[in-house]
Amino acid sequence: MQAETELEVVASAYVKMWNDRDYAAIPRLVSESFVMYDPAASAAEIPGPKGEVHGRDGLRQFMELLTTSFSDFEITVLEMLTGEDVAMYEVQLTMTHDGPLGALPPTGRQVQLRGVSILRIDAGIITEHRFHTNMTEATEQLGLTFPQILGQLPKLVVGKARRAL
């Protein structure tokens, strides 16, 4: 059995930070210039262009958004590979949409997604995180594709009206 490499230790600590909602670990694990590329990142909710999260504060905001919208959000690492300054791991994400997500009220639906994360690590600090998944699968599981969305329209209209007041 091989001992964990430094990159595996850092990547595992990063996943644990997400699962434990350990916001205090952010400065220890990611650089000030950290950039995360994730198709779920919304420009309306998080500073930076759509699909990107910038800096430690941006990461905290993104984590809070996801874990408020999906209070049982959990990452399970299925396999991890490391190289010179890169840790790559396949994940299973499990979560229930039980909180508001932008303009979308909770659907109560469970989501299970597989994805791949690629971390760039320099001197034990994560500088970049790229997350790849099938977002169509996520919208299907949330019931947000046509014709499924038709059943969600009353909730969406009521949610929008409440926010307008």
Res 90: pLDDT: 98
pLDDT digits (tens, 9 = 90+) for 52-82: 999 999 999 999 999 999 999 999 999 999 9
Res 154: pLDDT: 65
pTM of the model: 0.84
Q: What's 114's domain CATH number?
A: 3.10.450.50
Instruction: Tell me, yes or no, whether 38 lies in a domain.
Output: yes
Instruction: Tell me, yes or no, whether 1 lies in a domain.
Output: no
Res 107: pLDDT: 87
Q: What is the chain's percent helix, strand, coil content, to nearest 5?
A: 35, 35, 30
Whole-number Å distance between alpha carbons of 53 and 62: 7
β-pairing, 30-37 with 125-133? parallel
Question: Which segments of the chain are extended strands (E)?
Answer: 30-37, 52-54, 74-82, 86-96, 110-122, 125-133
Instruction: Tell me, yes or no, whether 44 lies in a domain.
Output: yes
If pLDDT is split at 50, 70 and 90, which confidence band does 44 have?
Answer: confident
Name the β-bridge partners of 36: 53, 129
If pLDDT is split at 50, 70 and 90, which confidence band does 112 have?
Answer: very high
| Domain ranges, residue 91 | 6-164
The yes-or-no verdict on residue 1 having pLDDT over 50 is no
Q: What percent of the chain has pLDDT over 70?
A: 85
Instruction: Tell me, yes or no, whether 144 lies in a domain.
Output: yes
- Total number of domains constituting the chain: 1
Res 2: pLDDT: 46
